[in-house]
A and B are shown apart, each in its own frame.
Chain A
Amino acid sequence: MATQITAKERMQITRQVMPEQEAVQRSGNFQEVNLGFSEQLALLEAQRCIQCKEAKCIKGCPVMVNIPRFINFVAEGDLASAAKSLFGDNALPSISGRVCPQEEQCEGSCIRGVKGQPVAIGYLERFVADWARTNGSKADAETPAPRGKKVAVIGAGPAGLTAAGELVKSGHDVTIYEALHKPGGVLVYGIPEFRLPKKIVASEVERLTQAGVKIECNIVIGRTYTIPELREKFDAIFIANGAGLPVFMNVPGENFKGVYAANEYLTRVNLMEAWQTEHANTPVLMGKRVAVIGGGNVAMDAVRTAKRLGAEKAMIVYRRTKEEMPARVEEVHHAEHEGVDFQLLVAPLEVIGDEKRWVTGLKCNRMELGEPDASGRRKPQVIPGSEFVLDCDTVVVAIGTKANPLLTATCPELKLNKWGNIEVDENGMTSIPGVFAGGDIVRGAATVILAMGDGKNAAKAIDGYLAQV
């Protein structure tokens, strides 16, 4: 190891703090909140890694990044080797470095976290990936020998992009079919600019196309082509078309003007660029009092977006407490610092509207936590007689999604589970040989990194499958 520090000195370095845009300022703009480590901060942080022989962090990572190895290169100041190591394991590190729930994965397994703060693995991953992007590092420039096999990937979201990147590295001829007009899936329509700048997604996509991945937009599989039609032209298929249909609460007033599914709200702002208020062609209602229902990452994205669109009061309405929230800890903290109001232990009953059916409020019950339910979380129960009306002019429903039947309905041979999600075996293969699936269409609503993990695993399985046929 190049760094001449003792073990004691190493243990004395405290976790470096991510520089971020100041809260009041950032809640009024869409620029990225986290500013990224400087090289100096990254070198210091990298030195905190004790290079475990049996690194638990690797097992905690859905795509099994060799974390100690790339961090060691950073500690040695060899950023080109760090990038090569990282990109070899993970096709989209500048994205996962920004949106992964590290506290539950790599950092949650870090030994240094047992008696203190874990190594800031996510921030280091982001640093190395960004360094590689701005320094033009061609970590994976070698062109593999063509294998003569064609693979179709359905959906250019995190699972599809990851799979395509891995497959092209193995020498396969890969075409991605994307339903929207721009590749990226949830990375472009769902996750806001202030958390994942779209130019980063665009540059990751460009890296894949330069490596030989073909992307065809505006192709809706299930409509433009069906899976059986693609099966005739391709040797293997990976279905990663995402979760799809937003779930509503099924309460009265939910179709009033001013009620959005989070998907629509975020799509208007992100993909359709309504955040560029001066010259956006697609409008979005800019409520003054916005109630976002839900406690996940999508809810946090929506509520922080509302704040940036000028809401005087941007509220999270969640029926449990902060402890049970599925959102990343960092997102909840950021939302708090930006002045988001948390209405906890509150469950909506009805959307109230005026005579023209514009939203004026949300009738709610107050809740208390009872016994743990099947998920292990304490079940919220209504406090009798606690009904009240929360004043708001916009409601954003962020309580999840369910499987989109558009593709599966035109491919009856695909075995589905009772929720309409595609069933796969341990290799990610569906009931049709040569047709694989991953991401939210298999898992229901999950995370970007789990989708990326599915993409990576499926690519490996597809490569094995193609070697046999």
Chain B
Amino acid sequence: MHTILAKKQLSPNVTRLDLLALRIAEIKQPGQFVIVRRGEGDERIPLTIADADPVAGTIALVIQAVGKATRELVALEVGDAIRDVAGPLGHPTELIASGRALCVGGGVGTAVVHPIAKALHAKGVHVTSVIGGRSKEWVIFEEELKKCGDVIVCTDDGSYGRKGFVTDAAKEVLEAGGIDIAYGVGPVPMMRAIANLTRPFNVHTIVSLNPVMVDGTGMCGGCRVDVGGETKFACVDGPEFDGHKVDFDLLADRLSTYREFEQRSNACAEGECRIRK
């Protein structure tokens, strides 16, 4: 059992939970994830580790409540426990040893960018983070990322930072020159846009993929993605890949496999359930 020691609402639908996971907190590296199962009968959910405190023995998970499983997870309170946490899974992020890095985070993906920026900063890499959200209240991890380097905040409605998408600001950073590597984590269309943006600049670009996953250890093959024409399993081969080689259409497409089930369970949660067996 993994007791929740802290809980914080970061944006209207994003929650941070800090929970006890001694071994994972001790050894986790940036880019790695855990599989979480709230309780008996619940789904297994892959979540990237946003931060860890090896002294306190805690890991931070940043969760966007989109479906039944994530909604139930963020409904937990301090003192409650999560039944299963397995990990750390996946390969650690490919980091550069020196130079300049561009880290782009969209929505909840900003929480995934954070440990990458933190690790780069610790190595002495100059980090420019570009993060964004719909409006001011959707921007997360700004303070944490400021500790790792420069931060450019973008909002769609201009209510905070620059008005516009993260891609616009990222483009200016790339045009200014000197970027050795780019990291992009966020919704699929954003990651695709970042990969397309960096391609003409010949900047190596790493994206973190979030396909449907069950076991997280390579056994089920549900998380298969196409990278450079080859089928890869995101859980054991990834979750981070060369953004210039990822087939984002396929990723977006496979992510929609259970949309009908999700809509049905969301409708049930909102009390509109009219399903009869």
| A interface residue numbers (CB < 8 A to B) | 179-181, 189, 217-220, 223-225, 242, 244-246, 248, 254-255, 257, 260-261, 263-264, 267-268, 272-273, 277-283, 285, 356-357, 404-406
Contacts of B253 in A (CB 8 A): 257, 356-357
Cβ B24 vs Cβ A245 within 8 A: no
In the bound assembly, the distance between CA atoms of A219 and B21 in angstroms comes to 12
Cβ B221 vs Cβ A220 within 8 A: no
The interface-forming segment of B7-15, B39-47, B144-152, B193-201 is B39-47
Contacts of A283 in B (CB 8 A): 258, 261
Contacts of B42 in A (CB 8 A): 281
In the bound assembly, the distance between CA atoms of A260 and B23 in angstroms comes to 33
B236 interfacial by beta-carbon distance below 8 Å = yes
- With contacts A224-B24, A255-B231, A281-B41 taken as known, whether A404 is within 8 angstroms of B89 at the C-beta atoms is no
**Nearest CB of chain A from residue B30's CB, rounded to whole Å:** 15
Cβ A404 vs Cβ B44 within 8 A: no
**Nearest CB of chain A from residue B262's CB, rounded to whole Å:** 8
Contacts of B261 in A (CB 8 A): 283
**Nearest CB of chain B from residue A187's CB, rounded to whole Å:** 14
The interface-forming segment of B79-87, B117-125, B159-167, B202-210 is B79-87
B224 interfacial by beta-carbon distance below 8 Å = yes
How many A-B pairs with Cβ below 8 Å? 107
Residue of chain B at shortest CB distance from A247 = B221
Contacts of A219 in B (CB 8 A): 86
B136 interfacial by beta-carbon distance below 8 Å = no
Cβ B69 vs Cβ A281 within 8 A: yes
- With contacts A255-B250, A282-B43 taken as known, whether A220 is within 8 angstroms of B231 at the C-beta atoms is no
Contacts of B250 in A (CB 8 A): 255
B158 interfacial by beta-carbon distance below 8 Å = no
Contacts of A285 in B (CB 8 A): 257
Contacts of A223 in B (CB 8 A): 87-89
B233 interfacial by beta-carbon distance below 8 Å = yes
Contacts of A263 in B (CB 8 A): 219-221
B134 interfacial by beta-carbon distance below 8 Å = no
Cβ B221 vs Cβ A272 within 8 A: no
**Cβ contact of B214, chosen from A220, A264, A279, cutoff 8 A:** A264
Other than the given A244-B218, A246-B221, A281-B42, 8 more pairs (CB < 8 A) read: A224-B23, A260-B221, A263-B219, A267-B220, A273-B41, A278-B277, A279-B41, A282-B214
**Cβ contact of B220, chosen from A181, A220, A224, A261, cutoff 8 A:** A261
B217 interfacial by beta-carbon distance below 8 Å = yes
Cβ B87 vs Cβ A245 within 8 A: no
- The binding surface of chain A is classed by DSSP as loop
In the bound assembly, the distance between CA atoms of A278 and B236 in angstroms comes to 32
In the bound assembly, the distance between CA atoms of A414 and B106 in angstroms comes to 42
B16 interfacial by beta-carbon distance below 8 Å = no
Cβ A255 vs Cβ B226 within 8 A: yes
Contacts of B85 in A (CB 8 A): 218
The 3 residue pairs across chains A and B that have the minimum distance between CB atoms:
A261-B221, A264-B220, A218-B86
Contacts of B88 in A (CB 8 A): 223-224
Contacts of A278 in B (CB 8 A): 277
Cβ A281 vs Cβ B43 within 8 A: yes
- With contacts A257-B257, A283-B261 taken as known, whether A272 is within 8 angstroms of B89 at the C-beta atoms is no
B256 interfacial by beta-carbon distance below 8 Å = yes
**Cβ contact of B254, chosen from A242, A248, A257, cutoff 8 A:** A257
Cβ B221 vs Cβ A245 within 8 A: yes
Cβ B43 vs Cβ A404 within 8 A: no
Cβ B257 vs Cβ A181 within 8 A: no
Cβ B69 vs Cβ A179 within 8 A: no
- With contacts A255-B231, A267-B219, A281-B68 taken as known, whether A181 is within 8 angstroms of B236 at the C-beta atoms is no
List B40-69 residues whose CB lies under 8 Å from chain A.
41-44, 68-69
Contacts of A277 in B (CB 8 A): 277
